[in-house]
Amino acid sequence: MNELIDRYVLAVARRLPASNREDVARELRATIDDMLDARGSRDQGAVRDVLTELGDPAVLAAGYRSGPQHLIGPEVYGPFLETLRRILAIALPVVVGIQLLFGDWGSDRSVASIVIGAIAGALQVGVHVVVWTALTFIVIERSGAAREVADGGEGWTPDDLPALPRQRQITLGELIGAVVVLALIPAGLLWQRYRSPYEEAGDPIPLFDPDLWDLWIPVLFGIVVVNLGLEGWKYAVGHWTLPLVVANLAVNVAFVGYFALLFSREDVWNPAYAAELAERTGFQLADSPILAIAMVSIVAISAWDIVESIIKLRQAPTERVLLEGVPA
């Protein structure tokens, strides 16, 4: 007997169930002998040729086994991914939210360490969700329930089709976020007018030059109102359209232009406030880079807003095609 053949037969046999292991091994041995006869040689080279032709013992053994050769087969792969996605979409935000909410804020732990803790917690939960969902689906696959899961048990009919996604491109959350940010502008201006750390004869000294209220600040209120109108229009349409992108561009240009003009033409700080501040803290408002930083930020935010609207305009047709079946 040849050692290489013994090793091959054993490598196949040990991968088979006990019920047919011996029978398959015996037949395999006879087959190898027949193949060697056909070659007219029993030397080591011929043996190697024959075994190479039979191929990887693991593959050969897999052919004999009848059960599924995969953990999660094509029938349940889709439902598996869908389940995973749904659980993660709920579990992860909840875990992060809880950890941030009940984080150790009182102690001297830094904000960063609490945030990192929340992310680590989310990762841990994520791994658990993936592992347990996978195990559940492996059981479903093995128990033969796979076909039922795949077709919902009763066989598929067109009624099983999911409803079309009516997902808005511009969500209510986005609308609320934009309104809150915009509302901060008039709120801040009014606040600085009536609340100030410095007083003169019982009256607060505003941060910004009171003369601005004659023209500049009302104009800014006007721009904010137009902006609010644009946000409302965006939400009403639900997705970006060309008129919306153009209007958004105009509003952003107006916003940037307004501040560029304001900062270049007017001394926005209230001289009385600047004097008071300089006297008490030595901080010179006029020399500070605050306005420059503000200008750069305004330009950056507006530029991004314009770019984003164009990107989203390009994405919007996909949804329209899906809903109307006609390429735009």
Partner 1 sequence: MELDEELLAGHVQELRRGTVVLACLSVLQAPHYGYALLSTLAEAGLSVDANTLYPLLRRLEKQGLLHSEWNTEEPRPRKFYEVTDLGRALLERLATEWASLDTTVRTILGRSEP
Contacts of residue 176, defined as CB under 8 A and 6 or more positions apart, other chains included, come to none
Count of C-beta atoms within a 10 Å radius of residue 295: 17
Question: Which C-beta is closer to partner 1: that of 54 or that of 275?
Answer: 54
DSSP state of 204: E
Nearer to partner 1, 31 or 113 (CB): 31
Whole-number minimum distance, CB 37 to partner 1, in Å? 9
The residues, ordered by sequence, that sit 6+ positions from 197 with a Cβ below 8 Å of its Cβ are none
Least Å from the CB of residue 51 to partner 1:
11
> Minimum distance between the CB of residue 100 and partner 1, rounded to whole angstroms?
52
Nearer to partner 1, 6 or 160 (CB): 6
Sequence-distant contacts of 16-19: CB under 8 A, at least 24 apart: 16/61, 16/64, 16/65, 17/65
In whole angstroms, how close is the CB of 38 to partner 1 at the nearest point?
Answer: 7
Backbone φ and ψ of 203, nearest 5°: -100, 140
> 64 vs 198, which CB is nearer to partner 1?
64
Helical pair 216-237 and 242-265, crossing angle rounded to 10 deg? 160
CA distance 228 to 213: 21
Quick one: angle between helices 3-13 and 18-39, nearest 10?
Answer: 150
Residues that bind partner 1 (CB under 8 A): 20, 23-24, 26-28, 30-31, 33-35, 38, 53-55, 59-60, 63-64, 66
d(CA 285, CA 55): 82
Shortest Å, Cβ 43 to partner 1: 19
Q: Cβ 312 to partner 1, closest distance in Å? A: 40
| Residue 63: CB minimum distance to partner 1, A | 3
End-to-end Cα, the chain, rounded Å: 75
Q: What's the token pair of residue 127?
A: 């791994």
By beta-carbon proximity to partner 1, the closer residue of 13 and 24 is 24
Question: Tokens 């749904």 appear where?
Answer: 86
Instruction: Output 34 or 211, the one with its CB closest to partner 1.
Output: 34
Alpha helices in 55-171 (DSSP H): 57-64, 74-101, 111-142, 146-151
**Which of residues 64 and 233 has its CB atom nearest to partner 1 in the complex?**
64
For the CB of residue 27, give the shortest distance to partner 1 in the complex, in Å: 5
Closer to partner 1 by Cβ: residue 38 or 253: 38
Q: Which helix (H) or strand (E) holds 327?
A: none
